[in-house]
């Protein structure tokens, strides 16, 4: 009896997908900006039209979040992205500087490996496909196995639309026989030119250690500081809107709240008024032991679940109308579960003396987990915003906005994205909300503007001016004299 080796079959599938993707990318590279834009427009419309069906598939398959919110994410990933990139120049000549005689030309990176998480599967596929195609690249997706069907369905929508607009076959591919070996083959294959890694810490690390250039996203663990000048009802509403959106699975969402001592009672009262449930001390211990595993990892059973489901799983009582679970926290580290990333409607609550202490605490939280990612602040004091902007180790400091939606560019002017770079401090290749501009290289054509003899003549004149001028002449005067002498020589 013949037994199929699933690992070998999955590796062969990847090789076939990359071969087709490379051929397709070679065709894409020959297309005009107008042809590329037509493909992107048609694909975006098709995905937008299917946003509800795909959202329901993702929610049903993964058990994460709320399908109603996934509809909005699919809309942002399709229509929202299109609006942002439709006029972006990504093909051919980007700029032609006549004065400095430098011309810039866009060069696609080639074949992209797209790693897709189970938390935001359909929206991430739509987003990555659009920005890859916009930059003239092909892309092969490696799905999270728990979201395979919804990812396959999304790729089917993309390919059907792309083909109708003249896109070459194989430009957007997906691994059907998912395995760790298949993903490794995709990342390490000689014809894979770039990895877009969105997923768990282990997967992102594997992408960076693959030997292939990679853009990855580390974990989020953003604190939200409600400063004393904040509009408290508005700040609380925005935090709850953010943390309940798709049951908190967006990594930019708030993970803890920081308030000043003299504001605590007011803030707590407002949170309770708007539907937050402050978990009693003993229940908070049980909940903490459930949401974070002994090894410090997030418990996957709580991801994207409602407060009531989480409460039941943790063995604590939660009111039926509770929107978010909040537990008071005092420390930071693995022994303090509420200081960790929690992709669910669960928040830690810290109290500090003043904004300076809030500043230090937020940095401690971020350096423990989530460094380079995102932080939120609610305030009317621009001086404090500036202080936080200068010191916080994040790539996005969000002011007076829901962090989940602000981070992905839905409620801010940031580029709408589902891959949020964490910068060098977070182990990422970029601090950007990743866009098509991150997916092409720039070839610069530079014309000669001077000769070696001219450079030597200018240097000799500089030496002569320094020798002729008194030591008291300042730099500005020295430069002025040098310029005058150079000009006089050129005139002759």
Among 35-44, 91-100, 473-482, the least confident range: 473-482
Prediction pTM value: 0.91
Residue 277: helix, strand or coil by DSSP? strand
Q: What are the structure tokens assigned to 206, written together?
A: 């594997």
Among residues 181, 109, 93, 94, which one has the least CA distance to residue 142? Answer: 181
Q: How many CB atoms lie within 10 A of CB 253?
A: 32
- Per-residue pLDDT tens over the stretch 211-264: 999 998 878 999 999 999 999 999 999 999 999 999 999 999 999 999 999 999
CA–CA distance, 126 with 165 (Å, rounded to integer)? 16
Would you mind telling me the total number of residues written for the chain in this entry? 492
Q: Is the pLDDT of residue 11 over 50?
A: yes
Mean pLDDT of the chain: 93
Closest listed residue to residue 425, CA positions, set 470, 366, 479, 482: 366
Q: Give pLDDT tens digits for 279-290.
A: 999 999 999 999
Task: Compute and round to an integer the Cα radius of gyration of the chain.
Answer: 27
Q: Is 422 a catalytic residue?
A: no
- Beta strand 324-328 pairing with 194-197: unpaired
In this structure, what are the phi and psi dihedrals at residue 10, rounded to the nearest 5 degrees? -70, -35
pLDDT value of position 248: 96
Report pLDDT digits (tens) over 381-407. Answer: 999 999 999 999 999 999 999 999 999
Q: Which residues pair with 112 in a beta bridge?
A: 139, 194
What average pLDDT does range 199-208 have in this prediction?
A: 82
Identified catalytic residue from 251, 359, 422, 469: 251
Closest residue by Cα to residue 133 from 35, 243, 60, 236: 35
pLDDT of residue 457: 86
Q: What is the pLDDT of residue 481?
A: 60
pLDDT in tens, 127-162: 999 999 999 999 999 999 999 999 999 999 999 999
């Amino acid at each position: 009896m013949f037994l199929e080796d699933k690992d070998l079959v999955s590796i062969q599938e990847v090789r076939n997908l990359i071969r087709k993707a490379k051929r397709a990318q070679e065709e894409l590279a020959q297309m005009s900006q107008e042809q590329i834009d037509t493909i992107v427009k048609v694909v975006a419309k098709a995905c937008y039209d299917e946003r509800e069906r795909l959202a329901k598939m993702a929610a049903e398959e993964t058990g994460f979040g709320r399908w109603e919110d996934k509809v909005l994410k699919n809309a942002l990933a399709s229509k929202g992205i299109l609006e942002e990139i439709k006029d972006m120049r990504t093909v051919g000549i980007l700029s032609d500087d006549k004065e400095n005689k430098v011309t810039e030309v866009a060069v696609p990176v080639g074949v992209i490996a797209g790693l897709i998480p189970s938390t935001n599967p359909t929206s991430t596929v739509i987003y990555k496909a659009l920005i890859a195609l916009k930059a003239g690249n092909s892309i092969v997706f490696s799905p999270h196995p728990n979201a395979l069907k919804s990812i396959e369905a999304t790729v089917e929508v993309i390919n059907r639309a792309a083909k109708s607009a003249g896109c070459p076959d194989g430009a957007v591919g997906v691994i059907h026989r998912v395995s760790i070996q298949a993903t490794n083959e995709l990342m390490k294959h000689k014809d894979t030119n770039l990895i877009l890694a969105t997923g768990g810490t282990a997967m992102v690390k594997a992408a960076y250690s693959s030997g292939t250039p990679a853009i990855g996203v580390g974990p989020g663990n953003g604190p939200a500081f409600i400063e004393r000048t904040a509009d408290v009802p508005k700040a609380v509403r925005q935090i709850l809107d953010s943390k309940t959106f798709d049951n908190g699975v967006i990594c930019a969402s708030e993970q803890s709240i920081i308030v000043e001592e003299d504001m605590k009672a007011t803030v707590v009262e407002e949170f309770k008024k708007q539907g937050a449930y402050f978990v009693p001390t003993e229940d908070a211990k049980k909940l903490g032991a459930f949401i974070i595993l002994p090894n410090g990892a997030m418990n996957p059973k709580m991801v994207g679940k409602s407060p009531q489901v989480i409460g039941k799983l943790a063995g604590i009582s939660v009111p039926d109308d509770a929107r978010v679970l909040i537990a008071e926290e005092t420390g930071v580290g693995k022994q303090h579960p509420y200081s960790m990333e929690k992709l669910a409607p669960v928040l830690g609550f810290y109290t500090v003396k003043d904004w300076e202490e809030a500043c230090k605490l937020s940095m401690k939280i971020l350096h423990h987990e989530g460094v380079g990612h995102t932080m939120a602040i609610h305030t009317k004091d621009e001086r404090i915003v500036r202080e936080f902007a200068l010191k916080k180790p994040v790539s996005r400091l969000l002011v007076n906005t829901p962090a989940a939606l602000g981070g992905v560019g839905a409620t801010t002017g940031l580029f709408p994205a589902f891959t949020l770079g964490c910068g060098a401090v977070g182990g990422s290749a970029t601090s950007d909300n990743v866009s098509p501009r991150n997916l092409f290289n720039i070839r610069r054509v530079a014309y000669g503007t001077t000769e070696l003899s001219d450079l030597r003549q200018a240097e000799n004149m500089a030496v002569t001016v320094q020798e002729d001028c008194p030591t008291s002449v300042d730099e500005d005067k020295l430069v002025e004299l040098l310029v005058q002498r150079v000009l006089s020589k050129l005139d002759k």
